[in-house]
Amino acid sequence: MKQNQKPTDRRDFIKKTSLLAFGTSSLMAFSNSSSSFSAFADERINIVGPKEGYTPQIGTLVSMLNWMRMVILYPVEGMSVKDLDYLVDDKANSVGAMLWHLAATERFYQIHTFEGKKWGDWSKEDDELWSTAMGLGDNARKEIKGNDLEFYLDKLESVRAHTLEELAKRDDDWLMAVDEEWPWGPTNNYCKWFHVCEHESNHNGQFKFIKSRLPST
């Protein structure tokens, strides 16, 4: 089971996402080049479904988490510290802060679903590391800046590695278990973790918008 990538593998992985970012019509334009798609065949990243090392439904969830992570990393590839810190206006969040926010959100769902802690029950260590990024807004605008892309990718990578390790220990019954007391109503673990995936999709749109407004573009 492949749970994590080395830094060099991750950089190659980010480059592969360029094909997806162009949309379906542009993908068709590459259809005659076998080399363009060889990387996808090796990773099998576009196969959504069960994965070796996981129960069937958890494997399907993992395939979606992996695919969405690939997609969100494309727009930020090559961003400088200045790009990562850029604010469209005084109410906006920077790309860097949102990348940290994605890692913080995933960490929250780890704490809740893997450790059985209640909403907002952070340890002191987790609070110091993740709470500012989790909340975004004014505090994040003041505190989260001056970091290069590798800084944020390392956070995303380390959190995801733990997620995959923990998911491999669980089964589909756990995934389908319903929390009757969840704030937005009865919710199973599958929905909670699908929300982690959907949450990244939401910020993907923001990354693309901010990238189109960077002074350097």
Of 64, 53, 65, the residue nearest 168 (C-alpha):
53
One digit per residue, pLDDT tens: the chain, 217 residues?
444 445 445 545 444 443 443 343 333 333 333 333 333 334 688 999 999 999 999 999 999 999 999 999 999 999 999 999 999 999 999 999 999 999 999 999 999 999 988 766 778 888 888 999 999 999 999 999 999 999 999 999 999 999 999 999 999 999 999 999 888 899 999 999 999 999 999 899 899 999 999 987 6
Q: DSSP assignment, residue 49?
A: S
Q: How far apart are CA 164 and CA 213, in angstroms?
A: 35
Distances (CA, A) of 182 to 19, 86, 99, 160: 38, 35, 25, 23
CATH tag for 7-213 (out of 1.20.120.140, 3.40.50.1400, 1.20.120.450, 1.10.10.10): 1.20.120.450
- Do 115 and 107 touch, CB atoms closer than 8 A? no
For the chain, the domains span 7-213
DSSP per-residue string spanning 107-137: HHHHHHHTT-PPTT---HHHHHHHHHHHH-H
Q: At what angle do helices 95-113 and 124-135 cross, to 10 degrees?
A: 130
Q: How far apart are CA 106 and CA 196, in angstroms?
A: 6
